[in-house]
Amino acid sequence: MLLAKAAGAYPNKAPDFRRNPQIFEIWVERLANVDAATGLANLDRHIDSSNFFPDIADIVRHDPQINLLQQETEDRFLLLARWEQSATRMPLHLKRGVGD
């Protein structure tokens, strides 16, 4: 399905798998262990951002940068929640004159 979608998205730029079956075999071999949802998401991202037929790496890639950013975001939200839980009210002697 991934190859069919890629070929459909780039009808004039897709490799001719019929004339070069060895290319097709390599694609099938490399895509065999790719999670379908991940491969499809990567292909969709590629279609949205490139005018060129994807390389195998564009579809099978595991983008650690995205995972790192997601983890950092989760960590920051946890930190904010902890700060909010541990926050105390401002003492009255410091509050005087604030917002008057």
Look at residue 54 and give its three-state secondary structure.
coil
Cβ-based neighbour number of residue 14 at 10 Å: 15
- Assign 43 a pLDDT band (cuts: 50, 70, 90): very high
Residue 69, token pair as written in the block: 């950013």
Please state, for a pLDDT cut of 90, what percent of the chain lies above it.
48
Rounded Cα–Cα distance for residues 56 and 63 (Å)? 14
Q: How far apart are CA 90 and CA 71, in angstroms?
A: 32
Contact 31, 60 (CB under 8 A): yes
Please state the pTM of the whole predicted model: 0.60
Q: What burial class does residue 77 get, using C-beta atoms within 10 Å of its C-beta: 0-12 exposed, 13-18 middle, 19+ buried?
A: exposed
Q: What would the mean pLDDT of 18-31 be, rounded to a whole number?
A: 93
Q: How far apart are CA 5 and CA 45, in angstroms?
A: 13
pLDDT for the residue numbered 6:
94
Which three-class secondary structure state does DSSP give residue 22?
helix
What is the predicted pLDDT for the residue at 67? 65
Question: Greater confidence, 15 or 64?
Answer: 15
Average pLDDT of the chain?
87
Q: Please check the confidence at residue 19 and state whether its pLDDT lies above 90.
A: yes
Assigned token pair, 52: 């060129």
